[in-house]
Chain A
Amino acid sequence: MGTRDEEFLKRLLATFKVEAEEHLQAISAGLLQLEKEASVEKRGAVVQGIFREAHSLKGAARSVNLGEVEAVCQALEGLFSTWKHPGVLVSASEFDMLHQVLDLLARLTAAGVSDASVDQSQVQAVIRRLQRAAQGQLRLEEEPVSPVPEPPGPPPPTAVESAPVESVRVALSKLQELLQQSEEFLSARLAVGQILAEVNEVGTALMTWRAKWAKVQPLIRAWERGLEAAPVAGRAAATYGWQGQICEFLHWSETQHKSLEGRIGHLAKSTEQGYWLLGRLVEALTGDLKKVLMLPFQPALEILPRLVRDLARASGKEAELQIQGGEIEIDRRVLEELKTPLIHLVRNCLDHGLEKPEERQRRGKPRQGRITVAITSLEGGTVEIKVADDGAGIDPAKVRQAAVKLGLRTPEEAGAAEESELWPLIFEAGLTTSPIITDISGRGLGLAILRETAEKLGGAYAVASQPGAGTTFSLTLPITMATFRGTLVRLGRHVFVVPTKNVEQALRVSQAQIRTVENRETIEINGRALALVRLGDVLELPEDARATRGFLPVLVLTAGDKRIAFAVDEVLYEQEVLEKPWGGQLSRVRNLSGVTILGTGELAPILNVADLLKSAVKSSLAGPRLAPAVPEEREQAAILVVEDSITARTLLKNILEGAGYRVETAVDGLDAFGKLKDGGFDLVVSDVDMPRMNGFDLTARIRRDRELAELPVVLVTALESREDRERGVEAGANAYIVKSSFDQSNLLETIKRII
């Protein structure tokens, strides 16, 4: 029983935390509004609102036994109730104190435990302060109201303000699971497509039969007529003799065949209908679910007013924040990514943009600076987020200085650069125009984070500044994380996706076009020299045994203002790509941003081009690339690896390819035998324990086969017993390697001995 109660309380606490967060947010917003609001009527309504919120929170806290929260809320309620009298003035320091109280409440509710860790004395001090403030108000008003305004009653029925649309609260994880499952329907559709193809194949096979039948049919007819014409013992042989029976069977077969053909035709048609129907349904379902995952910007913007207020007070500036377009909806995942850069942008406005009140007055501006966060929907499923201030603007001279200091530009370059060329530089990590690093900003990281977010989400960023009049940062983002165009490239056996927006050009260059400058390879495109690197090297893939000769497929990739040419093995094609971001264990992977599921069900990692460009620079700094090895013109022996475990199969393939063999794979004995019959192999390396046909049977079958009898077979197996070994030899294997003592060298040595 005890554990069940605990379980229940745990669930209750989780619900409480969500609820408490909302109450606190509402109180915080109310306080901010009160500080600005002049109209007595409106103030009254706001006070009423925050009083109710504090009261609800108190009730909720009591139901989960959070005594401290309850007590603090009670004191808050006490103070708010004194504010109900018109004419009460609240000082800025009191507002400060209240925001701190809210912070404490947030900590208390987040901890969610009633005892330990919580500093009792701190809670008591806060309560005393609140009570003193309430009494102070009373003295001011000279109205005797009891300091504890209301005996704690049951929480009021949660009076929901008239909501325009009815809504339910669903845990996000459940929705995401749903989206994931709906995307899985894509593979169901894929499977149906596969079945359709197979049914059509059967149809074609039947047609081939029909064509052959059409050829022999006249012969059969003629034969039949001959039989009818030659009476046997007074009766037609066609009716009674064995020939007659064959003829009858052939006719029956034909009818049977026709009916089968008809049925297969129907089957193909209905499968096709199902295939298209499923496609439409899946599209509609995933589309609707994506809409469900859309959220208005508002919740992400709610922290900003408080942030501006606190930062402004801390830095002795006066600032007003205006928010527009908070109701515009965007993919929750995009919103999640946006929170941090937004905070950085607003901090930047306050710290670098806005001047101190006196300075502003001197320049003939109002004392209070203005920061605007404006969100607008644009064409083509994108939104623009503009964060602007009416402060001093960016000083071009300082940017020039900082760029030179960081080594991004030479003094000459910096001096000659137009202002519009300078602005992009402020997005570089480490560049700051601030002479001092404050705890608000100045490290030069904030804008670099903005840039990374924009690149990651496939958006764009810009800055415009006018000295003396202010600075505007803008960020354009897609409203869904949905699909983008991706270019598929092959490197050895791996397929990777490059976001097409980062591909400037795809071309083929001949070896002759590659120049080596200071041990680094370059190619010339449109009269400009570009660094050329091998994508495989940058991704740290093992060198492919088959070096490309002749033309080299190359992609010119760009991000920001950098461009580098990457050589690949093959540029495949372009398609719509749905990115699945990493999660959990893979927090951030170098050079890769996520993964997509291809139409074949295979996974293909998506390249992070911004990272790649950095890695390419790094690898070229690390040392010159050796001249490409001239591939040896020796005949490569071909080996078939037969293994049902994908890991062992891949490992064996890698080892053998690394040793210079040409390797193909099969998943079991039957598969292997089919491939062997096609010919061209010099040796077989096979596992023993496999479905359908095991290694012993495969070996025996090879030995029995006329063409394959001499083919060497190496068995690699987990079976260690002497009997098994003898069985292997009996079946005709040339070598028997036990997996537990397997290592790369004994396999290669064995193979070298045999071929």
Chain B
Amino acid sequence: MPASAKHPAQNLEARREILKARAQALAREPKIAAEPEGRLEVLEFVLANERYALETAFVREVCALKELTPLPCTPSFILGIINIRGQILAVTDLKRFFHLPDKGLSDLNKVIILRRGGLEVGILADRVSGVRAVSVPEVQEPLPTLEGLSPDYLKGISREALIILDAEKILTDPRMIVHEEVELPSK
């Protein structure tokens, strides 16, 4: 900023102020301007060499997966639990949730935290590519041949072959909620 350049004596102080202001500006939750009609803002990510996207309206945050504590006695798609600033969150491997063939070794380095109503769900991704807008007319009907993935969970496929998942469907799927009792076999 010019102010700091002009007064080198106050350089440090001024710089600190500027950095603080910037940090605050960055920390503020951005007010995303309402997408013009017909545009869909999505978060693009890579999972097992496929490019997927989820509507940003459902994305709370993305964070790096550093520690993962496996949890026994849960469905196989729950890979474990993580601690996000004191909040305990289960993380889901979508490949297993969708019953996709389990081939290849994925890095699953990123957690995308989805939110709908009171429910928050961590989804694993190999890589998060960024946020982009796709126009809705581009969203084609899902191809019936898409390997193994049930069309129920798809919103469509964009022109760039981006598979747009239906976050709403995924989050409202009753399978997503783990509620299991120990059932004793009747004698």
Contacts and interface: CB of A to CB of B under 8 A. Distances in A.
A747 B156 CA distance: 36
A647 B90 contact: no
A223 interface: no
Nearest to A541: B72
Contacts of A333: none
Interface in A550-587: 580, 582-587
A588 B105 contact: no
B184 A739 contact: no
A3 B34 CA distance: 10
A559 to B, nearest CB: 12
A592 interface: yes
Nearest to B66: A646
A587 B178 contact: yes
B104 A588 contact: no
B68 interface: yes
Nearest to B83: A603
Nearest to B73: A590
Interface in B100-119: 103-109, 118-119
A250 interface: no
B88 A184 contact: no
Interface in B72-101: 72-74, 78-79, 81-83, 85-90, 92
Contacts of B124: 647
B73 A539 contact: yes
B86 A181 contact: yes
A621 B177 contact: no
Contacts of A647: 65, 68, 79, 106-109, 124
A716 interface: yes
Given A602-B69, A648-B106, A585 B86 contact: no
- Contact residues of B: prevailing secondary structure: loop
Contacts of A407: 187
Interface stretch (A357-365, A367-375, A500-508, A611-619): A611-619
A588 B82 CA distance: 17
A171 B184 CA distance: 41
Contacts of A582: 88
Interface residues of B, number: 48
A664 interface: no
A245 B137 CA distance: 80
B168 interface: no
A597 B83 contact: yes
B34 A716 contact: no
Interface string B44-72: 00001100000000000000011111111
B109 A595 contact: no
Contacts of A652: 105
A590 B90 contact: no
A739 B72 contact: no
A interface bracket (residues with beta carbon within 8 Å of B): 35 or more
Nearest to A617: B184
A741 interface: yes
B179 A587 contact: yes
A44 B86 CA distance: 52
A651 interface: yes
A727 to B, nearest CB: 20
B21 interface: no
A383 to B, nearest CB: 27
A185 B74 CA distance: 30
A743 B106 CA distance: 11
Given A184-B86, A588-B180, A741 B104 contact: yes
Contacts of A615: 182
B181 interface: yes
Interface centre among A590, A621, A741 (most CB of B within 10 A): A590
Interface centre among B73, B105, B107, B182 (most CB of A within 10 A): B105
B131 interface: no
Contacts of A513: none
A647 to B, nearest CB: 4
A695 interface: no
B187 A646 contact: no
B121 interface: yes
Nearest to A591: B73
A249 interface: no
B108 A584 contact: no
A718 B183 CA distance: 43
B90 A586 contact: yes
A646 B67 contact: yes
Interface in A638-652: 644-648, 650-652
A583 B85 CA distance: 15
B13 to A, nearest CB: 25
Contacts of A605: 69, 71-72, 81
Interface string A721-741: 000000000000000000111
Given A584-B120, A591-B72, A614-B184, A741 B83 contact: no
A589 B88 contact: no
A611 B34 CA distance: 49
A588 B179 CA distance: 4
Nearest to A740: B104
A306 B71 CA distance: 43
A379 interface: no
A324 interface: no
B2 interface: no
Given A3-B34, A539-B73, A585-B121, A645 B108 contact: yes
A183 B85 CA distance: 9
A589 B177 CA distance: 10
B130 interface: no
A700 to B, nearest CB: 23
Interface in B117-161: 118-121, 124
Interface string A638-680: 0000001111101110000000000000000000000000000
A645 B73 contact: no
B92 to A, nearest CB: 8
A589 B49 contact: no
A601 interface: yes
Nearest to B85: A184
A742 interface: yes
A585 B114 CA distance: 11
27 contacts: A180-B85, A180-B86, A184-B85, A494-B72, A539-B72, A540-B73, A580-B86, A584-B119, A585-B78, A588-B179, A592-B72, A595-B69, A595-B81, A597-B86, A603-B69, A603-B88, A614-B184, A618-B182, A621-B185, A622-B185, A644-B109, A647-B79, A647-B124, A648-B107, A739-B104, A740-B104, A742-B103
9 closest Cβ pairs, A-B complex: A587-B179, A647-B108, A742-B105, A603-B69, A645-B107, A180-B86, A590-B73, A539-B72, A614-B182
Interface of B: 34, 48-49, 65-74, 78-79, 81-83, 85-90, 92, 103-109, 118-121, 124, 176-185, 187
Given A540-B73, A584-B118, 7 more contacts: A585-B176, A592-B72, A595-B69, A595-B81, A597-B86, A605-B81, A618-B184
Interface of A: 3, 180-181, 183-184, 407, 494, 539-541, 580, 582-592, 595, 597, 601-605, 611, 614-615, 617-618, 621-622, 644-648, 650-652, 716, 718, 739-743
